[in-house]
Amino acid sequence: MHPALALRAAGMDAISRLRLSSFDPDRLIQKTRRNTGLKDFGDDALRESITRLFDSYRLESSLTLIGRIAMLRDASRLLETRLRLNAFWREHPSIGKQPIRRPIFITGIPRSGTTLLHGLLAQDTANRAPLTWEVMFPLPAPPGARDRDAGIRRTARMLKWMDRLAPGFRAVHPLGATLPQECLAITSYTFQSPQFHTTCSTPSYEAWLSRREHCPEYAFHRQFLQHLQWCRPDERWVLKAPSHLYTLAALLTTYPDAAIVQTHRDPMAVIGSVASLTEVLYGAFSHRVDRAAIGREVLERWSDALGRADRVRAKASGVEGRFLDVGYHELVADPLRVVRTLYDGLGMELTADTQRRMRRFLDDNPKDRYGKHRYSLTRFGLDAAEVGERFSEYRERHEVLPEVS
């Protein structure tokens, strides 16, 4: 979950306590254990991950006071929830026996329709997408609790702070307590997640993360889905994150029967948009925002991600129905036709009731509902010819249509 959303929960007392705090992993771990009375995080590598992240925050992120408070508060929330989840899983070993059968993962370069497609497939009552509130507050309400929807309301209150800190964010990405959430919010509990470098500049952390073997993150991801499924069973999982492009090999190792739906769009129309979103988020938490560095970072990150994904796909392409491709233009022009094609490819039934739900979702969520997002490559020091050359093989391989800006 985004660190900005943790501010609402902090309150003035917590802000006063955190304002001079240092990013000390041992101190935070000890404090969380003391507050919860629990000791076992269930992951021996957790301390190294937090240390790498905190070093990056201290040395590279140029965090404001608000930024420091948000990052520390979010880390505290993640650690506390991780402790409580691990204790809950020990008490209920049947959670680990929950079968996760042929999950559907939606991925693709950002701004290529992954959120739209995820939202559409979530309208099918036979599908299950993890929702923002249950990812942020995954523990079930205690027996006898009167307020069964406390997590939803608490999340909704926190989301309002996102609008205040980064008012341009909603125009780029929808927010809502009961909307489907991305998988990187789940893996953030491992402190090995792209979630963190979407919020502020952490280049050394990102470089360390890119060199890691990612199966441990997906092992936690699977256990988290089993937990949610144990609380509310019998649905087929539909999941989403552009960042799965980086880690497709680990994903398929953990979920060998997964179906991968990859969306495609001309990167020339995407890179400037992603850089603009990054600028909005960095600006909410940092003293200094280097647009040229953001442009280079975004270009390198997503050219690398698409290259990694294509290499994995080339090795795993022999499995029938494993990969399905969706063009952005086709999705935007006729979403339901694309969904029908997907359902046929996945061997799933698309009922009349589901189609009605999907039409209602489209009516309720028109494009540019919260304003048009404007951006350019030149604002971030990027040359159109270089960007085009960097993605030329990808565009040719997947027959991606060029877009006129």
- Would you call 325 exposed, middle or buried from its count of C-beta atoms within 10 A (0-12, 13-18, 19+)? middle
The answer to whether residue 403 sits within a structural domain is no
Among residues 37, 281, 5, 28, the alpha carbon closest in space to that of 151 is found at 5
Assigned token pair, 186: 């789940």
Widest pairwise Cα distance in the chain: 62
State yes or no: pLDDT of 11 exceeds 50: no
pLDDT category at 371 given cuts 50, 70, 90 is: very low
The reply to whether 40 falls in a domain is no
Residue ranges making up the domain that contains 356: 100-140+148-397
* Whether residue 14 has pLDDT greater than 80: no
pTM: 0.90
Q: Are 273 and 336 in contact (CB under 8 A)?
A: no
Indicate whether 14 belongs to any domain: no
Where helices occur in 92-171 by DSSP H, the ranges are: 114-121, 132-136, 150-165
Q: Provide the number of structural domains found in the chain.
A: 1
Is 277 a member of any domain? yes
The per-residue DSSP string of 295-340 comes to HHHHHHHHHHHHHHHHHHHHHHTTSTTSEEEEEHHHHHH-HHHHHH
In a domain, 10, yes or no: no
pLDDT of 353 > 80? The answer is yes
Residues 6+ apart with CB under 8 A from 345: 321, 324
Query: Do the domain assignments include residue 378?
Result: yes
Please say whether the beta carbons of 77 and 9 come within 8 A.
yes
Question: Quick check: is 72 in a domain?
Answer: no
The confidence score (pLDDT) of residue 143 equals 59
Indicate which CATH number applies to the domain containing 316: 3.40.50.300
| Most confident option among 2-11, 157-166, 283-292 | 283-292
pLDDT grade for 15, boundaries at 50, 70 and 90: very low
Burial of residue 356 (CB within 10 Å: 0-12, 13-18, 19+) is exposed
Q: What is the DSSP letter of 132?
A: H
Q: What is the DSSP string of 35-82?
A: HHT----S-TTHHHHHHHHHHHHHHHS-B-HHHHHHHHHHHHHHHHHH
For residue 284, is it within any domain? yes
85-8-22 Cα angle (round to 5): 75
pLDDT band at 317 (very low <50, low <70, confident <90, very high): low
